[in-house]
Amino acid sequence: MIPDGDWVMPQKPLFVMRVCINKRLNTDKLPNCAGRGSRGLADQLEKLIMAEGLPAELVRGPCMNNCSIGPNIKVQGGPLFNLDSDISEARIAEIMDAIRAEAAKRKAAAAEVAGP
Ligand code: FES
């Protein structure tokens, strides 16, 4: 039951994006996303998301089994990025475009459900 009065709907992110930050002990010289800069990339993306007020939550997660082409990032409902060591400004802009597109898609769907 939803209470009357001062109750305010909780502010939740509309979707999450997951960044693999797995770091191997690397005794076998296997590739890993953290070794390719995914932890710093996650911090950078999170700052950009917050700066724009996008309704996305960045989740730092474990290995996604695409280690040889990481860092790997999945936008919920959107694309999977296999950056293959390319964490350039152009790739970051591409990821941010995907996040903006997903936010717009979900806001439109929410507005449609809410009605006029
Ligand atoms: S270490 Fe990132 S996908 Fe395996």
Taking 50 as the pLDDT cut, the residues of the chain under it are: none
Q: Please give the Cα distance from 43 to 71 (Å, whole number).
A: 13
Q: Is residue 8 part of a domain?
A: no
Read off the pLDDT of residues 23-36 as tens digits, 9 standing for 90 and up: 988 767 889 999 99
Using alpha carbons, select from 40, 65, 64, 50 the residue that is nearest to residue 96: 50
Q: How far is the CA of 37 from the centre of ligand 1 (A)?
A: 12
Q: Is residue 10 part of a domain?
A: no
Which of 18, 20, 83 best tests ligand 1's pocket when mutated (most atoms within 8 Å of CB)?
A: 20
What CATH number should be reported for the domain holding residue 59?
A: 3.40.30.10
Which of 18, 22, 29, 36 best tests ligand 1's pocket when mutated (most atoms within 8 Å of CB)?
A: 22
Read off the pLDDT of residues 46-62 as tens digits, 9 standing for 90 and up: 999 999 999 999 999 99
Q: Is residue 104 part of a domain?
A: yes
Q: How many domains does the chain have?
A: 1
pTM of the model: 0.86
Q: Is residue 78 part of a domain?
A: yes
